């Protein structure tokens, strides 16, 4: 519809809606600006919603401030924008202004505010306002209160808010069930689920996800098997539950069952999860098969799916395929770059990893903390001490990323492997974190390799003081005592090992794993 044909406000509004639905925000703005004589409150509200939908909160706020007249829809729209951008301060400020102006909040208003402040004590005041205005009986507001009190960790108030809802729908029941899941009260959640008068796919899937998040995969699979109808979200949730809990074979078997017995087709999230499972059990053949299925399905490649593919090839040892996959994708974000840098680092291709990091910076992609874990890991495998120190300093100086325990762990490992035990110990003493078992294990291993009894004993005593009983303690001490011929101490240490039932971990192959 051209500008010349616009003869009424309704025509203007229809044209704005059409432009926004087509993703043409710029055209909608031009239309709105060039027809100021046809604007009404609905026109302003449409543009306000358009800015928010397109991730332009500053433009939305500026437009809101310029509005000659605002109704409840205007206020609800700007509040939803603040919720979307996570700006709770501005949401509270605008809500207070709205109340002071004498405008009565609607159910949508209170639901939005409850969602924003569901983990805040302000929730109780919002509940009181809902009661005073009679909106607490609104099923949408009541359901939001149930979720709000779950976030506030108050199961009694949560259940009371649920009881106060006069007409409960499946969303209300599901919200209560999820609240109990958040508290870890699986039995209560199951009772709520069984009491639901109507169960839909959403409630079944929520129950499955709740069981998974509480570590009960058997219960999750039981509900999954009982479902009358499953959609792609349900299948993906169960597959991801297995994958996240290191049951990769079960994840792949369930995916195969989905393809064989179901008419539901996998989506990008399903394939990403399956590729992660392939990476977890180093199943290159299965991973290649999944890659082929994705290509045949003609699904659009997003950065998550493409990164999962690179990660799968990298962890399965096919560096060339990982490289080819990475280079074939036009859209790459920091996750994609982390995948390929981590791939090179894991396989000892330190030079290629660091070159890829430099290429990433040149392309204007800002690294994150995981990027530097991969870079430091590359330095570890390449024995690049000076480079490791440079990148540890660079991450904070250039990118304002505070080193985490993982970064210090890489540096301790790097210094230890290079035989610089004194510097590794100084770093442990200076870092602002309590060392974990992995870091101590790396340090002890270095002490064992370089037969450094003094530093090894220091680490062993520190671990024992922190009640960390790690086989590396005994392995290192046995090795050092044995190399020095201190057989009396070796025998005494073996006796102690027998008392605490410490032994070497038995080797296990993938053949053994499959057989079990």
Distance separating alpha carbons of residues 421 and 63, to the nearest angstrom: 62
Residue of 265, 266, 205, 268 whose CA lies nearest to 241 = 205
pLDDT of residue 507: 38
Determine whether 155 is exposed, middle or buried from the number of CB atoms within 10 Å of its CB (0-12, 13-18, 19+). middle
* pLDDT for residue 387 is more than 60: yes
pLDDT of residue 480: 61
How many CB atoms within 10 Å of residue 18?
A: 14
- Band the pLDDT of 135: cuts 50, 70, 90: confident
To which residue do tokens 């950065």 refer? 303
pLDDT of residue 215: 92
Percent of the chain beyond pLDDT 90? 69
pLDDT of residue 134: 84
CA 201 to chain centre: 24
To which residue do tokens 């031009």 refer? 30
**DSSP count for the chain of H helices, then E strands:** 31, 0
Q: What is the mean pLDDT of residues 16-32?
A: 89
Distance separating alpha carbons of residues 223 and 228, to the nearest angstrom: 10
- Confidence (pTM): 0.77
* pLDDT for residue 225 is more than 90: yes
pLDDT of residue 513: 38
Q: What is the mean pLDDT of the chain?
A: 88
Determine which of 363-377, 426-440, 449-463, 497-511 has the lowest per-residue pLDDT on average: 497-511
Q: Assign residue 298 a region (left: φ > 0; alpha: ψ between -120 and 50; beta: otherwise).
A: left
To which residue do tokens 């539901």 refer? 264
pLDDT of residue 499: 56
DSSP annotation of 317 reads: T
Give the model confidence (pLDDT) of 333-368 as tens digits. 999 999 999 999 999 999 999 999 999 999 999 999
Q: Which CATH number fits domain 1-103: 1.25.40.10, 3.30.230.10, 3.40.190.290, 3.30.365.10?
A: 1.25.40.10
Q: How many residues does the chain have?
A: 516
Q: Where are the domains of the chain?
A: 1-103
How many CB atoms within 10 Å of residue 352?
A: 18
How many CB atoms within 10 Å of residue 316?
A: 21
Q: What is the mean pLDDT of residues 480-493?
A: 64
Q: What is the mean pLDDT of residues 54-67?
A: 92
State how far the alpha carbon of 293 is from the alpha carbons of 17, 192, 258, 287, 297, in Å.
Answer: 38, 40, 13, 10, 6
- HEC string of 411-454 equals HHHHHHHCCCHHHHHHHHHHCCCCCCHHHHHHHHHHHHHCCCHH
Distance separating alpha carbons of residues 161 and 52, to the nearest angstrom: 31
Q: Residue 172: what are its φ and ψ, rounded to 5°?
A: -65, -45
HSE, side-chain direction, 13 A CA sphere, residue 278: 27
Q: Residue 194: enclosing H or E segment and its boundaries?
A: helix 186-195
Distance separating alpha carbons of residues 371 and 339, to the nearest angstrom: 9
Distance separating alpha carbons of residues 175 and 354, to the nearest angstrom: 48
- Band the pLDDT of 9: cuts 50, 70, 90: confident
Distance separating alpha carbons of residues 279 and 196, to the nearest angstrom: 39
Structure tokens at 327: 């280079």
pLDDT of residue 404: 94
Asked if 25 contacts 50 with a C-beta cutoff of 8 angstroms, the reply is yes
State how far the alpha carbon of 41 is from the alpha carbons of 36, 174, 233, in Å.
Answer: 12, 37, 39
pLDDT of residue 511: 36
> What is the rounded (10 degree) CA torsion for 401, 402, 407, 408?
160
Distance separating alpha carbons of residues 410 and 416, to the nearest angstrom: 10
pLDDT of residue 173: 95
- Band the pLDDT of 469: cuts 50, 70, 90: low
User: Which has the higher per-residue pLDDT, 53 or 469?
Assistant: 53
pLDDT of residue 309: 95
* pLDDT for residue 477 is more than 70: no
- End-to-end Cα, the chain, rounded Å: 68
């Amino acid at each position: 519809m051209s500008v010349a044909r616009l003869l009424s406000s309704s025509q203007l509004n229809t044209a704005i809606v059409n432009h926004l639905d087509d993703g043409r925000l710029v055209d909608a703005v031009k239309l709105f600006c060039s027809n100021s004589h046809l604007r009404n409150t609905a026109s302003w509200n449409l543009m306000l919603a358009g800015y928010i939908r397109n991730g332009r909160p500053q433009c939305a706020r500026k437009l809101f401030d310029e509005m000659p007249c605002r109704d409840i829809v205007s206020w609800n729209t700007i509040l939803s924008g603040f919720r979307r951008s996570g700006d709770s301060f501005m949401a509270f400020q605008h809500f207070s202004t709205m109340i002071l102006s004498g405008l009565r909040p609607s159910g949508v208003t209170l639901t939005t505010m409850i969602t924003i402040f569901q983990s805040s004590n302000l929730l109780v005041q919002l509940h009181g306002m809902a009661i005073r205005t009679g909106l607490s009986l609104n099923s949408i507001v009541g359901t939001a209160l149930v979720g709000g009190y779950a976030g506030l960790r108050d199961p009694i108030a949560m259940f009371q808010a649920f009881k106060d809802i006069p007409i409960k729908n499946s969303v209300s029941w599901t919200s209560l069930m999820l609240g109990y899941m958040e508290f870890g009260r699986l039995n209560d959640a199951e009772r709520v689920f069984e009491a639901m008068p109507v169960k839909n796919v959403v409630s079944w899937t929520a129950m499955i996800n709740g069981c998974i998040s509480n570590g009960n995969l058997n219960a999750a699979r039981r509900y999954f098997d009982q479902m009358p109808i499953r959609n792609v979200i349900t299948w993906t949730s169960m597959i991801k539950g297995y994958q996240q809990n290191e049951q990769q074979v079960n994840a792949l078997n369930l995916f195969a069952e989905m393809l064989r017995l179901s008419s539901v087709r996998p989506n990008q999230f399903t394939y990403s999860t399956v590729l992660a499972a392939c990476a977890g059990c180093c199943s290159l053949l299965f991973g290649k098969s999944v890659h082929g299925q994705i290509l045949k399905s003609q699904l659009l490649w997003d950065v998550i799916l493409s990164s999962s593919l690179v990660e799968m090839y990298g962890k399965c040892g096919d560096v060339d395929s990982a490289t080819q996959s990475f280079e074939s994708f036009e859209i790459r974000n920091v996750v994609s770059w982390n995948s390929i840098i981590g791939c090179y680092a894991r396989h000892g291709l330190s030079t290629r990893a660091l070159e890829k990091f430099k290429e990433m910076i040149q392309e204007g992609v800002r690294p994150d903390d995981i990027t530097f874990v991969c870079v430091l890991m590359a330095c570890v495998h390449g024995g690049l001490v000076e480079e490791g120190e440079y990148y540890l300093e660079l991450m904070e100086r250039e990118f304002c990323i505070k080193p985490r325990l993982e970064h210090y762990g890489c540096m301790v490992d790097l210094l230890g492997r290079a035989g610089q035990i004194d510097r590794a110990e100084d770093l442990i003493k200076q870092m602002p974190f309590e060392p974990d078992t992995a870091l101590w294990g790396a340090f002890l291993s270095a002490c064992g390799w370089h037969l450094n009894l003094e530093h090894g004993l220091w680490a062993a005593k520190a671990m024992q003081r922190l009640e960390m009983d790690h086989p590396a303690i005994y392995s290192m001490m046995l090795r050092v005592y044995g190399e020095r011929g201190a057989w009396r101490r070796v025998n005494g240490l073996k006796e102690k090992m027998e008392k605490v039932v410490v032994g070497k971990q038995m080797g296990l192959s993938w053949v053994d794993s499959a057989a079990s």
